[in-house]
Amino acid sequence: MKVERFSRKLIKPHTPTPENLKNYKLSLLDKCLVQDNFAVVLFYESKPRNKSELEESLEKVLVDFYPLAGRYTMNDHIVDCSDEGAVFVEAEALDAELTMDQLVKNMEAQTIHHLLPDQYFPADAPIPLLSIQVTHFPFGGLAIAIVVSHAVFEGFSLGVFVAAWSKATINPDVKIEITPSFDLPSLLPYKDDDFGLTDCEIINLCEDIVVKRFMFGKEAITRLRSRLSPNHNGKTISRVRVVCAVIVKALMGLERAKHGKTRDFLITQSINMRERTKAPLQKHACGNLAVLSCTRRVEAEEMMELQNLVNLIGESTEKDIAHYSELLSHNQFGRDIIVNVMKSLMQFLDPDIYSVCFTDWSKFRFYEADFGFGKPVWTAVGPQRPIITTAILMNNREGDGIEAWLHLNKNDMLIFEQDEEIKLFTT
């Protein structure tokens, strides 16, 4: 896809940020993360009647989301909420003569790069924390790519921002009911900690990574569930857990195809701890509050069928949610939890262990983002730079299936795609 960017401007908050909010300190969890950007891309069949609608509503919503209009430098550990502005780019796809349905069906993950603002990679300081690109298609539709820095946001926070911005656009004269809070740094303050995870190590691990989406439809998930026993509480196994287990099983097969045997392995999941902590938290608390849940180390000799994998993932999730419930307690315990988790990440770098990480975006309601010209016909994930094999899981448009965006070594991806169950259950 050939895309021409014809406009680039800075959108500043409609009213200045108060002096007492000018310095936004990062939390401990903010500083633990790799300081890359991440993105969601929303595809629409129509576009706004007035081209300035999106910009005007962005000005208004940035008043509440003031850190996103600031600048961050890694050495200072502070966002300067200077109202310098978010980047707003307009572009035109010159060679996309397809309909929206055809475009979505044929869109390759690597093509999405063209729909992202220029400064998507890397997140060097100081840079805008929020960048947006609106790409117009010849058939009348458009794509809105929203790129944010992981230094201040994760998937839940991005979902809150997208919901607030869309509501501000569709109802410009009505006060937005979504009011974010930025209290997490005071609850989990940052101090100088060295977790031993360097950028050099991360970059080396990310060489030759490709991204491919695998679509697990409603029928496929129903068939997979029919092979599984319910949870111990009698509830149906979640779509996300089923898909995670299928992917892990295929990755184990990949290991055997390459080496004749599997390595020991770990499965990690990113867990949104909002509404799961004992200490209360504002409903729309923004910042990083996703923590990693890790299964026990599974020995290579263990036989792990689909049911075993589902049980393994479920047990570790339940155990870790209970463990992390004290994360925001007013003592050292929450801080100790994070430090211990970050130190345990070092085992993911062990070449004798195969590690895979899942991130669930299926609950962030991106398909509800109506800016006044309809809801998205498709939502996509911007390519990321993962430390280990990573899969980001999103809803399909109907809300009954899962799209898995798998980041994997390009040679391994060729083997993974030939797995019999992957071919059977994905489209």
Reading the chain (427 residues) residue by residue, the pLDDT tens digits are: 889 999 999 999 999 999 999 999 999 888 877 668 899 999 999 988 887 999 999 999 999 999 999 998 766 788 999 999 999 999 999 877 778 888 888 888 888 989 998 755 444 546 789 999 999 998 889 999 999 999 899 999 999 999 999 999 998 888 888 999 999 998 888 876 555 544 444 444 556 888 999 999 999 999 999 999 887 677 889 999 999 999 999 999 999 999 888 899 999 999 999 999 988 889 999 999 998 888 999 998 888 899 999 999 999 999 999 988 988 877 667 777 777 777 766 666 778 889 999 999 999 999 999 999 999 999 999 877 776 799 999 999 999 999 999 999 999 999 999 999 999 999 8
Contact 141, 45 (CB under 8 A): yes
Of residues 81, 76, 80, 77, the one with CA closest to residue 31:
77
If asked whether residues 139 and 206 sit together in one domain, one would say no
If asked whether residues 237 and 176 sit together in one domain, one would say no
Count how many domains the chain has: 2
If asked whether residues 270 and 141 sit together in one domain, one would say no
Q: Is position 233 within any domain? A: yes
If asked whether residues 270 and 412 sit together in one domain, one would say yes
Catalytic residue status for 114: no
Distances (CA, A) of 293 to 84, 323, 336: 37, 10, 15
Q: Is position 218 within any domain? A: yes
If asked whether residues 181 and 285 sit together in one domain, one would say no
Domain end call among 187, 216, 251:
187
Q: Is position 376 within any domain? A: yes
Q: Is position 192 within any domain? A: no
Q: How confident is the model over 220-231, as pLDDT tens digits?
A: 999 999 999 887
If asked whether residues 147 and 219 sit together in one domain, one would say no
Q: Is position 31 within any domain? A: yes
Domain with 305 in it: 199-425
Of residues 85, 48, 40, 58, the one with CA closest to residue 164:
58
Q: Which two tokens stand for residue 98?
A: 């397809």
Q: Which two tokens stand for residue 165?
A: 């911005």
Catalytic residue status for 350: no
Of residues 137, 136, 53, 128, the one with CA closest to residue 102:
137
DSSP-H helix ranges across 34-154 = 53-64, 100-106
Of residues 157, 136, 122, the one with CA closest to residue 43:
136
CATH number of 251's domain: 3.30.559.10
If asked whether residues 182 and 306 sit together in one domain, one would say no
Distance CA 325, CA 329 (A): 9
Q: Is position 193 within any domain? A: no
If asked whether residues 262 and 391 sit together in one domain, one would say yes
If asked whether residues 275 and 418 sit together in one domain, one would say yes
Domain end call among 162, 187, 212:
187
Distance CA 262, CA 143 (A): 41
If asked whether residues 217 and 357 sit together in one domain, one would say yes
Distance CA 3, CA 250 (A): 36
CA 365 to chain centre: 13
Q: Which two tokens stand for residue 66?
A: 């003031």
If asked whether residues 167 and 211 sit together in one domain, one would say no
**Rg (the chain; Cα; Å):** 21
If asked whether residues 355 and 233 sit together in one domain, one would say yes
Q: How confident is the model over 323-370, as pLDDT tens digits?
A: 889 888 776 677 777 777 777 666 667 788 899 999 999 999 999 999
Distance CA 330, CA 188 (A): 9
List the catalytic residue out of 80, 83, 183, 370. 370
List the catalytic residue out of 136, 150, 284, 407. 150
- Which residues are CB-neighbours of 397 under 8 A, at least 6 positions away? 367, 376, 377, 378
